[in-house]
Amino acid sequence: MTKPIVLCFSLATLLCAQTLQVQTVTVESSAETEKLSSDQVQFTRQQDLSEILSSTNPEINMVRASAIGNDIVLRGFKRDDVNVLIDGAKIYGACPNRMDPPAMHISISQIDKVIVKEGPFDVENFGSMGGMINVVTKDPQPGFSGSLQATIGSFDYKKGAVNFNGGDEKFKFSLGLVRESSGQYEDGSGKTLVEQNWAVLGKSNPNAYKEQYKDMDAYKRGVIRGKFIYDIDDNQQLKVRLYSDKANDVLYPAFQMDAQLDETIMLNADYTIKHLSAYSDKLVLSIYYDRVKHDMGTKFRNAPGMLYRTHRAKSETKGVKLKNIFLIGAWNVETGIDVSKRGWNGMCLNEPSKTPRQVRIPDVDTINRGIFFKGSRKYGAWDLKAGIRYDWTDIDTNVQWNNNPLIPTPVANYYKNKTSRDFHDLSANVVAKYHLNDTDALFVALGQGVRVPDANELYFIAYNKNLSNPWVRRGNPDLNEVKNRELDLGYEGSIGEDGSYRVTLFYSDLKDYIYAYKDSAGTLTYANIDAHIYGAAFDSAYAVGEYGLFEAKMAYQRGKKDDQIPGQSDDDMAMVPPFHASVSYSYDTGDYFASAEIRYSAKWNNYDSDNGEQAIKSWTVVNLKASKQITPKFSIDVGVDNLFDQDYATNNTYVGRALVTGAVPLLIHEPGRYLYTNLRYTF
């Protein structure tokens, strides 16, 4: 299913006083302008895209890692199962433990809308096996304008931003500068991030923080961005986007290391020609490049002797896509080709000398070539869609395996003759929607999506000859690609003249799903298993009078293994969240806005106990917010999240996340009561 989440908003974190508008549109619709419900939320205090999406869509769960750098689970699909794009360009993090997930590499203040496609119904992009999230950034507008913004929040959160927009009908541009920092938040029981680490590990554990760092900031971050549009003539346009993001000293208390550096550089461009011929209404050539550097180390931890180290990882992605849009009879057709290359390497360094110790990710290139075709049309009361994609993918390592002092001989022997892989895959889907009347409709969608294993899953190296089991962690070079064969059913309808609702059901049959686990010797590795995920969702909106809006949303997913990993018996899949629900009421006159929201999660009863997960209690939180336009140029927003200071967690402790453990795995809890204020001046 497809949910474009249109973010035209003034979040306290992004320091904007405009409206966050959440629009829900089904993938079954042949025209993405048909909206089922819209939700206007003036602002939130969230600093991460993952937090924003999980607070607006109950089918999305956030995986808490720190104050920033949190990951996304969509309908029980995680990590590379979900394709994350920025303006249609692929972006990957560099950390094998997802300290810097793709959703981190975006400045919230530049977002225009976010399109969420649930399930394997995206054939335009490589790897959308469990879903796709595309962040679309704001385009500059003609005329000169700007804004100065400042936000303060609990736990010493501070953010400042300057935005400027200029140009005319021919050439226009926007520039932005953002700087933010935060102290460590306290959870509902009053523990900071460091204190949550100590509570599980104690203060003497090698992975525990040193006393001298107990009060350090959670992170510091700066962003510089720009976007430029040149309308060459009525039928040609060039659009260029530049983005740079740097975060320092980000604390990750549930991992063995913290991020001393997260640095992102992105460049992408689109060249569009309209009305080229009878078989080309629009031709779009897109190119993109991004590079992510991630240095994580044990500087702030006890980490004696050989445990004092830094892991330096880098991911570099480049790609090109040519897409043609045209009409054939009643069919709207899109066809295209794309090529992408992802380079990923990682090295463990000695400290403080910074000399190389051991290869972690052996300079792996993943090269994909794809061709796709999709079409849509209306036929009476029916909306019909279909799509197909063929992928050819090569994965190759680029290191010297033999006689390499940075690769132990047993490691080279393990990967011998398995240092290159190739995959040939087909993805396809068909979608039908039947309109019963102007407001009610039934829909059904059937699709197959594919993703290949990544470099971490295939080739990761963590080998310590001084241990009785020297393999701490290793890839599996024999992994197959994952296939998701999914059926979606649903109904959408109206509630009188003032409301709407939607019910969806889905069932995903997973072949060769890539599952992380610890074997009997304690080595973290990966295996292919068959499994299935199923679930349901409901969302509704009802207008109350001229200015009020009531909303109710809920979602449930369940994941089960069809195959058992040797030596294990728990058939629950990891990281599939329990039942989530929310209700909210908002009142918006345009000049004044207020809202109240209640969010609920059931107890986490179905979890993979064989692989580190645990029961997690249910939770209910209340959030309040209000906004006032003081003058035409000046506005103020205030809010409080977790009003009653509840102590709760939204994620679990799956071993696939490579978390540190004491008597139990370390589970990071959410912030306690959080107050925030945003001021914005426009000119």
Segment 384-397, tens digit of pLDDT: 999 999 999 999 99
Kindly report the length of the chain. 683
Q: What is the pLDDT of residue 45?
A: 63
Q: What is the pLDDT of residue 114?
A: 86
pLDDT at 13 over 80: no
pLDDT at 483 over 60: yes
What is the band of 46 on the pLDDT scale with cuts at 50, 70, 90? low
Task: Give yes or no for a contact between 657 and 98, defined as CB atoms under 8 angstroms apart.
Answer: yes
Mean pLDDT of 471-482: 96
Task: Give yes or no for a contact between 378 and 330, defined as CB atoms under 8 angstroms apart.
Answer: yes
Angstrom distance (rounded) from CA 671 to CA 189: 9
pLDDT at 255 over 70: yes
Mean pLDDT of the chain: 90
pLDDT at 351 over 90: no
Phi then psi dihedrals of residue 82, to 5 deg: -110, 125
For residue 272, what are its two tokens?
């569009």
pLDDT at 16 over 50: no
Angle formed at CA 606 by CA 605 and CA 611, multiple of 5 degrees: 115
pLDDT at 604 over 80: yes
Task: Give yes or no for a contact between 505 and 488, defined as CB atoms under 8 angstroms apart.
Answer: yes
Percent of the chain with pLDDT over 90: 82
pLDDT at 359 over 80: yes
Mean pLDDT of 578-597: 94
pLDDT at 377 over 90: yes
Provide the CA 197 distance to its chain's centre, in angstroms. Answer: 25
Q: How many CA atoms lie within 13 A of 644 on its CB side?
A: 9
Q: List, in sequence order, every residue forming a beta bridge with 242; answer none if it has no partner.
A: 226, 267
What is the band of 42 on the pLDDT scale with cuts at 50, 70, 90? very low
Percent of the chain with pLDDT over 70: 93
Q: What is the pLDDT of residue 20?
A: 42
Q: What is the pLDDT of residue 43?
A: 58
Tens digit of pLDDT for each residue in 624-661? 999 999 999 999 999 999 999 999 999 999 999 888 87
Q: What is the pLDDT of residue 663?
A: 66
Q: Report pTM.
A: 0.90
pLDDT at 228 over 50: yes
The CA-to-CA distance between both ends of the chain, in Å, stands at 40
Angstrom distance (rounded) from CA 81 to CA 60: 13
Tell me the residue ranges of DSSP E strands in 521-579: 524-544, 548-561
Question: What is the gyration radius of the CA atoms in the chain, in angstroms?
Answer: 25
Mean pLDDT of 206-213: 94
Q: List, in sequence order, every residue forming a beta bridge with 228; answer none if it has no partner.
A: 173, 240
Angstrom distance (rounded) from CA 93 to CA 316: 9
Angstrom distance (rounded) from CA 413 to CA 30: 53
Tens digit of pLDDT for each residue in 137-183? 899 999 999 999 999 999 999 999 999 999 999 999 999 999 999 99
Per CATH, the number for 2-682 is 2.40.170.20
> Picking from 5-9, 220-224, 247-251, 398-402, which range would have the lowest pLDDT averaged per residue?
5-9
For residue 486, what are its two tokens?
């999914």
Tens digit of pLDDT for each residue in 328-349? 999 999 999 999 999 999 999 9
Q: List, in sequence order, every residue forming a beta bridge with 272; answer none if it has no partner.
A: 237, 284
Task: Compare 660 and 295 and report the one with higher pLDDT.
Answer: 295
SS (H, E, C) 412-471: HHHCCCCCEEEEEEEEEEEEEEEECCCCCEEEEEEEEEEECCCHHHHHCEEECCCCCCCE
Q: What is the pLDDT of residue 44?
A: 58
Angstrom distance (rounded) from CA 657 to CA 348: 19
